[in-house]
Amino acid sequence: MSVIELHDVVKRYESGAQTVTALKGVDFHADRGEMVTIIGPSGSGKSTMLNMIGLLDTPTAGTVLLDDRDVTDFTEDELTEERRTNLGFVFQDFHLLPMLTAVENVELPSVWDTSVDRRDRAIDLLKRVGLGDRLDHTPDELSGGQQQRVAIARSLINGPDILLADEPTGNLDQDTGQTILEEVTRLKQEENIAVVAVTHDEQMLEYTDRTVRIVDGVIQQ
Amino acid sequence: MSIADTLWHFPSAMMAWRNLGRNRMRTALAALGIVIGVVAIASLGMAGVAIQQQATSNLGSLTNQVSVSAGQDSDYDGVTDDQVEEIRSLLTNAQAIPQKTNSTTVSSRGKEAYVSVTGVTDANALYDVTEGTAPERLQTGALISNSTAQQLGLELGDPVEYDGHLYRIAGLIDSSSGFGPGGGRGELVIPISGLADQQYYDSVTITADDGDAASNIANRLDEHFNSEGHEDEEILRVSSYANVQGQISSFMNTLQLALLGIGGISLIVASVAILNVMLMSTVERRGEIGVLRAVGIRRGEVLRMILTEAALLGTLGGLVGALAALAVGAMMFHVLVGDASAALQWSSARYLVYGFAFAVFASVLSGIYPAWKAANDSPVEALRG
Ligand SMILES: Nc1ncnc2c1ncn2[C@@H]1O[C@H](COP(=O)(O)OP(=O)(O)OP(=O)(O)O)[C@@H](O)[C@H]1O
Ligand SMILES: [Mg+2]
């Protein structure tokens, strides 16, 4: 059963007189335990599509189903709630908060909830990505690969169904990228989550279960 | 558990605190703006109080008194017993105390002092005794001013002589209070019988409840004795300090408003500085706030975080400013009133509270727009940078 589905999704950007149609009727789905990679040339709409899947943006037309629920017309506050509980994000630039330690960064998405064991879960997640000895380090004391692993731990803190990653290896060297991908693959199986990633990175295709190619806002079969 | 871990239970406060710590220089400069504003508003307010206290303490207790003496058109060279009775019949809630005055040289142990002599019966109503007692009715003893007693080496119980009679010193009085009869000169107060060779009273002092009552009484007496039937005659000279006091306090109110206005303007400048700093730091952190929103932090929580940041900035600046203003205020009170701790009286200390409250209020107010803007930014746009 698909945990996320896009049906005939269109996204248009209107800026002044110009209209850009970034997505021209896209269908997509991802299942639990599956890693789907979206590839395509620059400007083809990969990030736009990931934003739709990640409920960060709403489509101009079409339907978005999360766990079979139609979330297309959700308000911003409802979408925020879904992102918090069901989605995890990993970014190309890691995007950790510089004034927080590793463990605080991991806790961050849950910190406004009064859950009791989040510190334990954060420490557990950091150990699982091999950072058990870096809990109280701030991002500037960590390497790029370590920062990305903190970001991965952060994305899993609320026990999401889907992990979204926009070029997660884009700022890492070959070897580091590889360990990150191995980490993600392992966690995908352990947590039984869907991973949807956007990449330019050829080596990522070795880890992926399925590849979706998009060109000029249209999925290529 | 460390402080940070405890603070983490209040995520908005924790995040705000950490964010302020990131750019200490900028935080310090923004807080400095607030500090200056609070020091301005609070110390100017306290200055007003100090100046006012100094002015009223110079006038002493005279503001609620009316002094009556013979006018230039009087048939007598003093106030007569009949006139005293007439004055008393016009008073409801005030006491009229007739006095006879003279001056003399008091000597003791070879030293001499030139003093003014006042003959009065109800001495305790007119004088504050610093040592000893002022009897209800002064019939045998005498009161003498502190300075004169010191000068002549006189103590309680020692005799002083005036006009051939000896009086025992029953109490010491403060001679430096106000511009009272005698001015800076030493004073000797004896029973009125000691000045029996003067037929009339030199002055009648009327003590009312307050300045307003005193000026009412002054007007009433003036009307009764000086304008009834006979135009523009001055049978009795009626003077009160109440109108002086009124003028001073209305001047003070104006001064205080002007000072508070200046302080207020500096706080407004400070809040514009905070608005600028908050706006800059939220624009700088746009991507970060986008991440917060992406991982599911609610708009309200982002709003609260940034407002807390502004409030912390205001609290920090307000506290430092209030402390600095207290130091400035204590210094002003020390110089003007001679008592630094008077700065802690509510009448002046309240300006510290006002300054602090204004600082927090102005900071939160300046934080609203940047906070609202950051919270409602689209996460996608924010992440694109
Ligand atoms: N906010 C926006 N306003 C206007 N046009 C936009 C906006 N966001 C994206 N676009 C346009 O939509 C198209 C798709 O952009 P998108 O970022 O999805 O491409 P991409 O496939 O992720 O490219 P890259 O590989 O370079 O990251 C591009 O033509 C882009 O200019
Ligand atoms: Mg992209």
Binding site membership of A97 for ligand 1 (Cβ less than 6 Å): no
CA–centroid distance, A46 to ligand 1, in Å, is 8
From B18, B291, B297, residue closest to A112, measured CB to CB:
B297
Question: B148 phi and psi, to 5 degrees?
Answer: -65, -40
CA–centroid distance, A13 to ligand 1, in Å, is 9
Q: Which of B186, B211, B241 is the endpoint of a domain? A: B241
The answer to whether the Cα torsion of B292, B296, B302, B304 is positive or negative is negative
Is the pLDDT confidence value at A165 over 80?
A: yes
Closest chain B CA to residue A115: B9
**Binary contact (A89, B8; C-beta < 8 A):** no
B284, B255: one domain: yes
Least confident span in A84-88, A190-194, B59-63, B245-249: B59-63
Residue nearest to atom 7 of ligand 1 (CA): A13
Half-sphere exposure of A88 (CA within 13 A, CB side): 28
Residue A161 makes CB contacts below 8 A (sequence gap 6+) with: A3, A4, A32, A67, A86, A87, A193, A194
Domain residue limits at B183: 63-241
**Binary contact (B288, A95; C-beta < 8 A):** yes
Q: Residue A56: its chain B contacts at CB < 8 A?
A: 294, 379-380, 383
Residue nearest to atom 17 of ligand 1 (CA): A47
B131, B253: one domain: no
What's the complex ipTM? 0.93
What pLDDT score was predicted for residue B184?
Answer: 57
How many distinct structural domains can be found in chain B?
Answer: 2
Binding site membership of A127 for ligand 1 (Cβ less than 6 Å): no
Closest chain B CA to residue A88: B295
**Binary contact (A95, B287; C-beta < 8 A):** yes
Report which secondary-structure segment, H or E, holds B353: helix B346-375
| A82's tokens | 């879904």
B202, B348: one domain: no
Q: Does B78 touch chain A if contact means CB atoms closer than 8 Å?
A: no
Best mutation target, B2, B289, B295, to test chain A (most A CBs within 10 A): B295
From B21, B288, B293, residue closest to A97, measured CB to CB:
B288
**Binary contact (A51, B380; C-beta < 8 A):** yes
From B19, B288, B294, residue closest to A83, measured CB to CB:
B294
Question: A20 phi and psi, to 5 degrees?
Answer: -110, 125
Mean pLDDT of all residues in A202-220: 93
The answer to whether the Cα torsion of B148, B151, B155, B158 is positive or negative is negative
B208, B75: one domain: yes
Is the pLDDT confidence value at A19 over 70?
A: yes
B219, B346: one domain: no
Least confident span in A63-67, A83-87, A203-207: A203-207
Q: Does B294 touch chain A if contact means CB atoms closer than 8 Å?
A: yes
Q: Which of B241, B274, B296 is the endpoint of a domain? A: B241
Half-sphere exposure of A73 (CA within 13 A, CB side): 0
Report which secondary-structure segment, H or E, holds B356: helix B346-375
B147, B274: one domain: no
Domain residue limits at A82: 2-220
Mean pLDDT of all residues in A89-107: 94
How many distinct structural domains can be found in chain A?
Answer: 1
Q: Which of B241, B267, B294 is the endpoint of a domain? A: B241
B156, B67: one domain: yes
Q: Residue A41 belongs to a domain with what CATH number?
A: 3.40.50.300
Long-range Cβ pairs for the range A127-136 (8 Å, 24+): A128/A153, A128/A187, A128/A190, A129/A153, A129/A183, A129/A187, A130/A183, A131/A102, A134/A102, A135/A101, A135/A102, A135/A103, A136/A101, A136/A102, A136/A103
CA–centroid distance, A23 to ligand 1, in Å, is 10
Share of chain A residues as helix, strand and coil, in percent rounded to the nearest 5: 35, 30, 35
Residue A187 makes CB contacts below 8 A (sequence gap 6+) with: A128, A129, A152, A156, A163, A193
Residue nearest to atom 6 of ligand 1 (CA): A13
B74, B216: one domain: yes
Binding site membership of A46 for ligand 1 (Cβ less than 6 Å): yes
Best mutation target, A99, A125, A147, to test chain B (most B CBs within 10 A): A99
Residue nearest to atom 30 of ligand 1 (CA): A43
What pLDDT score was predicted for residue B172?
Answer: 87
Q: In which residue ranges of chain B is pLDDT below 50? A: 176-182
B292, B231: one domain: no
Question: B190 phi and psi, to 5 degrees?
Answer: -130, 170
pLDDT category at A125 given cuts 50, 70, 90 is very high
Global pTM?
A: 0.73
Long-range Cβ pairs for the range A211-214 (8 Å, 24+): A211/A36, A211/A37, A211/A38, A211/A39, A212/A28, A212/A36, A212/A37, A212/A38, A212/A39, A213/A38, A213/A39, A213/A40, A214/A26, A214/A38, A214/A39, A214/A40, A214/A44, A214/A45, A214/A46, A214/A49
CA distances from residue B158 to A4, A16, A54, B119, B131 in whole angstroms, order as listed: 107, 103, 100, 19, 14
Each residue of B16-32: pLDDT tens digit?
988 888 889 988 988 89
d(CA A143, CA A96): 12
Residue nearest to atom 20 of ligand 1 (CA): A43
Q: Residue B297: its chain A contacts at CB < 8 A?
A: 80, 84, 108-109, 112
Q: Residue A89: its chain B contacts at CB < 8 A?
A: 291, 294-295
What pLDDT score was predicted for residue B182?
Answer: 45
Question: A16 or A154, which is more confident?
Answer: A154
With contact defined as beta carbons under 8 Å apart, do B213 and B96 qualify? no
Residue nearest to atom 2 of ligand 1 (CA): A13
B250, B297: one domain: yes
**Binary contact (B295, A109; C-beta < 8 A):** yes
CA–centroid distance, A161 to ligand 1, in Å, is 26
B215, B271: one domain: no
Report which secondary-structure segment, H or E, holds B346: helix B346-375
d(CA B203, CA B252): 31
What pLDDT score was predicted for residue B235?
Answer: 86
CA–centroid distance, A212 to ligand 1, in Å, is 17
